[in-house]
Structure 1
């Protein structure tokens, strides 16, 4: 996580790294070891209020793109992990495997079937990932986690579909240019256009058409990772649009 994102408010960079240390120290892998806000603040010489505030901002809010998960094992005792780390990747793989194993998705509307699937997941993850003391807490956690995974999958599908649609449009529009320009000159021309569009975006960041123009150019030069980044940005900037 980048300190520059909070440096205007959190003036001490050393405190920032102490806050990250607190989050990483209180990880499910280290259970039952735990250090409280009070003990950590005293040992590492950081104000308890500062520590509590920024842990909450990093874990609970959308301050950073990285998604964190919090497990409340008991009052005032929390463990943290984040999306795409080793523990979460294994948890995701196990959860998705159990979902896929249910042939008829209609069963998920029946409470008994959902509970049965969660029991199966718990049986597996409480043997290899989490201490058994997390079992009942994870029973409450899993339904929300499964909804989060479903949301991520739907977003990925939307991005792929949009990518395919735009790619077809771009190739159709670029045919005439390809016939009349050599590739080197064309690339130079279009990279200049990218810079022009980015300058325009910096002046009018809410101009939807500018983002579409940039995506067309990126697609033409096969910069697909950049296209996906732009599409994700557009989903945030223009939630009302059908991208």
Structure 2
């Protein structure tokens, strides 16, 4: 989903910066507040950031001007919410653009919008709604993570379609074309990412369930039931 450097024309690359910057600023505020109030979450923040970096660095060729890969942002969205996830996504994407030639600086706003903001936001909303409905925790994590991945690529398809509408059929035709190409890689990648994230969260529940309760990821009673099921 990393759109390559210089690939988006004006005014689209500028518009995505305008969209992303306020969210990043709010995310920095939330991150600073979280770290100051709960120092114990710092190791978990580092793990979430590293998870995003490792998974999103696994680049596969896809739509011209972009690439396919897992995103890793679903777990961060579940743990810390979409605003803080946007900051983690920005850090990862900036490092990749500068040192790995993965993405770009002019397209950073667009890439942050898709992978760091909109995908995680939908994952977070799904996780919270499913939690209230009583869905199994690990199934919820699996689905929320997979959805974050899929939504990221729907947004990337839209970004490309807006910038490059088809001569016949316009934006909708381009959106369908880009989305169809992405789907061939993203459907299985999202399923694998969801399964991996659920396994990691099982380990986190086992060793850091108190932190998950503090972060309101789990209720105390749910955390107790999950730990008891592991024994």
Give the TM-score normalised by the residue count of structure 2: 0.24
Tell me which of the two structures has the higher relative contact order, counting C-alpha pairs closer than 8 angstroms and 6 or more residues apart: 2
Task: Look at both structures and tell me which one has the larger radius of gyration over its CA atoms.
Answer: 1
Give the TM-score normalised by the residue count of structure 1: 0.23
